[in-house]
Every structure is written in C-alpha cells, then in structure tokens.
Amino acid sequence: MWQIVLALTPAVVVLFVLGWLALALGLALWSLRAPHRHAPRTAARFLLAAWVLLMLVVTLTPTQPIGSADATFWWRPGGGLLELGAQLEPGEVALLVRRQIAGTALFLPVPLLLRFAAPRWSAAGAFLLGVGLSVAIEVAQLLMRAGRVADIDDVLCAAAGTVVGAALALLAKGAAVALHRRAGSGRAVRAAAAPAPEEA
C-alpha cells in the first residue's frame, strides 16, 4: 500500500478519476446502445470482481507472519492530522494526506462498477456495500495480526470513496443519456434531410 501512497501525485489522482469516469461513460453508452444484451453488465461484473480481488490483495497481504504482531486498532480519526498540539513535519503531513487519498481512491471503483454490474442496486445499497467491505477488511487486519493496523480512517476514506464513485457513475449515466439522445436526434435530422429516392 505504501508503494501506491508514495506514487500519488495530483496528476495521478486526476488521471485516476478521469480514467474511471471514462470507463463508466463507456459502460453507460454500451448499455444504452445494447439494452437487451448482457455483455455490458457481464463486463462490469468481471471488472468489479477483479477490482475487489486487487483490493483484498493490497489490504490483506501480510507484512509479517500471521499472528506475530499485536492487534492494533486506531480509533481516532485524522491519523495525527487532527490531533491538537501534534508536531508534524511537512513531509509527514503530506504522507498522511496521500494515505487518505489512496484509501479513498481504492474504494471509488466499487460503487461505480456496481451501478453497471447490478443496476437495480440503489446508491444507498452501494454505499453500504463499500463501507461494509471496508469494515470487513479492517476486522480481518485486526484478527490476522500480521503487521497491518486497523484504522477508523480507512473506513471513513472508504465511505468518501464510495460516495465519489457513486456520483461519478450517476454523472456518467447522465452524460451517456444526453449523448445518446443527441446522436439519435442527429440521425433523425439527417434522415429527414436526405432526398427521397426518385420513383422509376
């Protein structure tokens, strides 16, 4: 996880968000153009399963032998950022902020893909799934005692990422509907403007 945190820059974050937004827009357009086909939903389900698997690998891979560490739970939000009187170096602050952003970004694709993999799920259901998945990961980290720390910040970041992901999915669906309508009206105008075939 720290390799991801250290690689985070504003440009990387923007590209990450835009990439997922573009993917959501593509899935939304695909679904509109092929409403009776299951291929868009199947693709979204495959991507969702792959992303959740990646999340589990990133968050649950032990950093030391299982059972060899203390069961630690950081229950104070902010990870040192919000503590009064905390003397943090600028580099430490930047690292903590990057860590929060990484935790948020990790959960962004879950509700986004879920909106296309299971369209009947509500935004509230997607939110609860994201937060529930985060809580399950933190509990697993606590029980594994393998060098990872369960942290309330991770749950809060997961909640934020879930909200952002759901919002991006809604934005993509709205944009796809607008583009689809515009394309349909453009075809209708061209068809009306085309000269009628002459009768023999």
Query: Closest Cα to residue 168, out of 14, 8, 6, 38?
Result: 14
The CA distance from 72 to 9, in Å, is: 29
The CA distance from 118 to 136, in Å, is: 21
Mean pLDDT (whole number) for 16-40 = 93
Reported as a single tens digit per residue, the pLDDT across 163-196 is 999 999 999 999 999 998 887 765 555 555 555 5
Tell me 121's DSSP state: S
| pTM of the complete model | 0.83
Average pLDDT of the residues of the chain: 86
Mean pLDDT (whole number) for 65-81 = 79
Structural domain boundaries of the chain? 2-81+92-181
User: Could you tell me which residues come within 8 angstroms of residue 29 by beta carbon, excluding any fewer than 6 positions away?
Assistant: 176, 179, 180
Reported as a single tens digit per residue, the pLDDT across 83-96 is 545 666 777 778 88
What are the structure tokens assigned to 103, written together? 């935790």
What are the structure tokens assigned to 126, written together? 């997607």
pLDDT at 69 (0 to 100) = 84
pLDDT at 200 over 60: no
Q: Is 115:99 a contact under the CB 8 Å cutoff?
A: no
pLDDT at 170 (0 to 100) = 93
What percent of the chain is predicted at pLDDT more than 90? 56
pLDDT at 79 (0 to 100) = 63
